Chain A
């Protein structure tokens, strides 16, 4: 009951509810359903990025590559090797996580800019492998007729609405995992690393292991997103694994809000909508979107959800101070929820506003 009073959880639930109801509105329009379902697949991968970038503060640019590995594993196993979707999906997700873990062993020896560029190189190696290893991946001709998930006679997943709900349920699981991580000690550990790696090290956090797990988790989500994407779209080409894909994910998470629970989903949906809006301009859309990215980082680095979260915090604080005044007692030190705020912000914010109110 208490949870339902929290505006953050309410907001997240509202967003999920709206998305859950889209088939009611657009159920007959295959194109729209497909765009939304593909968006949800990307959102799952973006949740992976949220863990490594949003929580842990490490800019990993290999996410597009992991997405591609997931997609290609499912694509190739279901077509060339005639596996069932679920088997291929399982292998794809486990395989992507394992590859992520292995790359992490090397990548996480590096820090900051080195880490970002190193992971970008990993992403590019994955892309090169996929686009050049013709005997296995069919290079530029891509993979056709990727299977839909099988469910006996129960559900027919070639129906866009059924596929939508499958992806949606998996997405729900990802949202819940993100929420659970945020509340757990693991999440706090990751946030500590984001705030200061040296500090985390000093207070006894196993920085190396935590980052390693966060990186593997991001690959895990990337694999899930990619595997589902292959099945939803039915055809995949090397552009499913490009570095540009990573940059797209980056824009999604930035618009939504890094390190928030609802951010990746909200961001993905908003930007997907913008992409569709600028559909006619195709490549020119970045003439508008490029400056928007820059403006967002400069003026609104906390994203839509981060910004709303800050707004909620401020109101809650005002109310608390107001009631404290009525009681005649001094306002209790507001425990700053550093969550929604980006790297700079919340704690300093709290102090200044409390002082002003006095």
Chain B
């Protein structure tokens, strides 16, 4: 039972990380209609930039994540402007290929700067808490709390603030929003920047638990895609539910069956769900 509670907390913490990554990706899909395959490499860059500010420059942990998030925001905006914007009228395969090019580029850059070896980010938050007999490391609690706070802020931003509402408007009807004076190009840049910012927060939070490497984004990339496909591309509630469901399924199968099955469970679930419902669980009618 103790092990179960322990793993449940680990699963929820992992779910928080997936959630922060998946929300950005699904927002980008909603607004740009692009599955951004470079998302995982933005996560990887976010982790390395946080690492750089924390270890090399020596600023406090929270500030390091903040600075990294801002830098990645700018990078996301640039990615939209330089890569996706010129391709906005191309067939959908072209975006994905360009995103793959960007992904390779980011990985090569990270490898050139920080090398291919694994690196460890020293955890600034140590200690653990005892909840219901299970030892929960403080870092995981920080992850859960931060994920909840960031998600609440994001919901407020999208539902209440004027800039956030433009994102939802564009998602619902691109032409219509342009008619009432919303600039789709600006919103696209904002969305991609925002997704890079969110995924950096996720990376900064999880890096002290995991190791850093230029390919660390690959498996996250695939899992997050499995999540948003599962939830239905472009659906926010779908992404949140999918993140926690898959994360808990992953930690549980790793614990009780084997780590290989744990790694594959996201994709097995994905195959099963799409075999039954090819548009994902929470799909809304996709308009083009």
Interface set of A (CB-CB < 8 Å, partner B):
53, 57, 59, 106, 109-114, 116-118, 120-122, 124-125, 128-129, 132-133, 243, 247, 250-251, 254, 283-287, 289-294, 297-298, 301, 342-344
Contacts and interface: CB of A to CB of B under 8 A. Distances in A.
Interface footprint category on B: 35 or more
A114 B94 contact: no
Given A121-B271, A122-B271, A297-B90, 16 more contacts: A53-B93, A57-B91, A113-B29, A121-B222, A125-B268, A125-B271, A128-B263, A286-B104, A286-B108, A290-B105, A290-B106, A290-B108, A291-B101, A294-B82, A343-B90, A344-B90
Majority secondary structure, A binding face:
helix
Contacts of A297: 87, 90, 94, 97-98, 101
Contacts, number: 131
A125 B270 CA distance: 11
B100 A114 contact: no
A110 B98 contact: no
B94 A132 contact: no
A109 B97 CA distance: 22
B226 interface: yes
Interface of B: 29, 35, 82-83, 86-87, 90-94, 96-98, 100-109, 111-112, 116, 214, 218, 222, 225-226, 229, 233, 260, 263-264, 267-268, 270-271, 274-275, 278-280
A298 B86 contact: yes
Given A59-B96, A109-B278, A254-B97, A121 B108 contact: no
6 smallest CB-CB distances across A and B, nearest first, come from: A290-B105, A293-B101, A286-B108, A286-B104, A132-B260, A109-B278
A106 B98 contact: no
A291 B263 contact: no
B11 to A, nearest CB: 20
Contact of B97 (A113, A114, A117, A250): A250
A309 B229 CA distance: 38
A66 B134 CA distance: 44
A46 to B, nearest CB: 14
A108 B111 CA distance: 37
B160 to A, nearest CB: 30
B101 A118 contact: no
